Every structure is written in structure tokens, then in C-alpha cells.
């Protein structure tokens, strides 16, 4: 695993460059994009001054809340607003009730995920693969934990408004991506980042599965990386 710890602005630029370089090398590649506040900052940097054309690239949303497929609070709307509309990406795939069981086949038909762009939950989730998710999961419906719902409460204007379930690429789906970048910012992510890097690869910290990934880059600001040696 390659680990980069730097000032947040530098990390944002590095993340944007890694994404752009991937598309530059393979303009028709499939990229898995996760949602969340951390990646919002990456997408803002990426869309500020794009250096390559993204129009041939195929976007695969990592997650979507059950019932919010067409809602402004859903991941698809968020990613469309922040990213796809600004970069001119028109081929967009979202897991939903109709396709979630065949979503991994859609990914395979697109040539596999060239790059997965991920964040991490404070409980170690990637996508919505919560603790105790099995290692060999494909895209599925996940029940959100109380910790995840609490983390998302602000976004939904209260914990009671947070959906209880979400479609998510599975751990196997994400770990099958040829390249992975995972971004984490802020002090509240420092413990989980430590566990991602040094923890046992148990289902307790799903993100720790990425320790075994051959092309994994962890991009941290100084606060999120503070507990690493
Ligand atoms: C959600 C997403 C994850 C993301 C996580 C981090 O739970 N499903 O893919 O990694 O949020 O969120 P944030 O960046 O807002 O802390």
C-alpha cells in the first residue's frame, strides 16, 4: 500500500491527478466513484480545471440509498451534480432494485473497474460494506449501522431521516478494481486509518481488506494520518 500524508490541498491535487492520469492513459475506462463529504472536496478540485477529457469514461456509482435512486439526497444525484455534469460524463451506472444483482456483470462488461475512488466511514466501512460484511460479497443491499446513520444524520437533517438500507458494491467488487485510491481527512478518521493500515484483516474493519490490494494508494491529510508512524 502506498501511503501519502500531506497538507489537505496537496492531497486534493494528488487525488485529482491520479484520477486524471488514469483517464489520460485509458480514456474509455470504468471508474467507481463513492460519495461523501471527503470526496466532495476531491471532486471539487478535479472539476476546477480538468486537464483531460472524461467524456469517454464510464462511471459506476459505488452506492445508492434504497428508495433514493431519483432523490436529490441520493448518491447518484450528488455525484451527478458535483462531478459527472461538470466533466461531461454521460455513461453513468447506479446500483438499484432492478440491476443490483447483475451490477458486477455490468462492471465486467465495461472491462472491469480501472480505478475505485473511495472514502472511509469512521467504523471502517468502504462503500456501505459495514463491519461483519463477508469478504466475498458482490453488489448487494446493506443494512446501515447506527454509527453510519449517525454519521449521515446531518446530510439528511436528522438521524430518523437516514435511509435504513443502501445498495453497495461488495468488498469483492471493490477489491477487484485494478487500482484503488482511498482518501481520509480529519482527526475523526485517524483511528480508523490506523486500523486500515495495521489492523487485522478481519471483517471488523472492512477497509483493512485493502491491505492486500496490489495497487492501493491511501491519501491522507495530516490529521487523518496522525496515528501512523
Ligand atoms: C459514505 C459512503 C462511503 C464514504 C463514507 C465517508 O458512508 N457510502 O463510500 O466513504 O461515506 O464519508 P465522509 O467522507 O462524508 O466522511
pLDDT digits (tens, 9 = 90+) for 161-213: 999 999 999 999 999 999 999 999 999 999 999 999 998 877 789 999 999 99
Residues whose CB falls within 8 Å of the CB of residue 196, separated by 6 or more in sequence, listed in order:
120, 124, 182, 205, 207, 208, 210, 211, 218
pTM (whole model) above 0.85 = yes
- Ligand 1 center to 118 CA (angstroms): 8
Which of 66, 120, 139, 173 for a ligand 1 pocket mutation test, highest count of atoms within 8 Å of Cβ?
Answer: 120
Q: What are the pLDDT digits (tens) for 49-96?
A: 898 999 999 999 999 999 999 899 999 999 999 999 999 999 999 999
33-43 in b/e form (b: 16+ CB < 10 A) is bbbbebbbbbb
Reading the block at residue 184, the C-alpha cell is 481520509
Distance 61 CA to ligand 1 centre (A): 13
Query: What is the Å distance from ligand 1's center to 122 Cα?
Result: 9
- The pLDDT tens digits of the residues spanning 22-43 come to 999 999 999 999 999 999 999 9
Interatomic CA distance for residues 62 and 94, integer angstroms: 8
Amino acid at each position: 500500500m502506498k501511503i501519502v500524508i500531506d497538507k489537505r490541498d496537496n492531497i486534493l491535487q494528488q487525488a485529482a491527478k491520479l484520477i486524471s492520469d488514469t483517464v489520460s492513459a485509458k480514456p474509455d475506462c470504468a471508474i467507481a466513484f463513492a460519495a461523501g463529504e471527503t470526496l466532495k472536496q476531491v471532486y471539487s478540485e478535479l472539476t476546477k480545471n480538468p486537464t483531460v477529457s472524461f467524456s469517454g469514461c464510464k462511471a459506476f456509482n459505488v452506492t445508492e440509498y434504497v428508495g433514493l435512486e431519483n432523490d436529490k439526497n441520493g448518491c447518484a444525484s450528488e455525484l451527478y451534480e458535483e462531478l459527472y455534469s461538470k466533466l461531461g460524463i454521460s455513461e453513468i451506472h447506479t446500483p438499484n432494485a432492478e440491476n443490483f444483482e447483475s451490477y458486477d456483470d455490468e462492471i465486467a462488461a465495461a472491462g472491469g473497474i480501472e480505478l475505485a475512488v473511495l472514502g472511509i466511514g469512521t467504523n471502517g466501512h468502504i462503500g456501505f460494506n459495514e463491519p461483519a460484511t463477508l469478504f466475498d460479497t458482490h453488489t448487494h443491499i446493506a443494512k446501515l449501522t447506527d454509527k453510519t446513520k449517525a454519521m449521515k444524520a446531518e446530510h439528511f437533517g436528522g438521524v430518523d431521516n437516514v435511509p435504513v438500507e443502501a445498495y453497495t458494491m461488495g468488498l469483492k467488487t471493490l477489491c477487484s478494481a485494478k487500482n484503488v485510491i482511498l482518501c481520509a481527512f480529519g482527526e475523526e478518521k485517524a483511528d480508523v486509518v490506523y486500523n486500515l493500515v495495521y489492523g487485522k484483516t478481519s471483517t471488523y474493519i472492512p477497509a483493512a481488506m485493502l491491505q492486500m490490494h496490489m495497487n492501493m494508494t491511501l491519501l491522507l491529510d495530516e490529521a487523518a494520518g496522525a496515528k501512523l508512524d
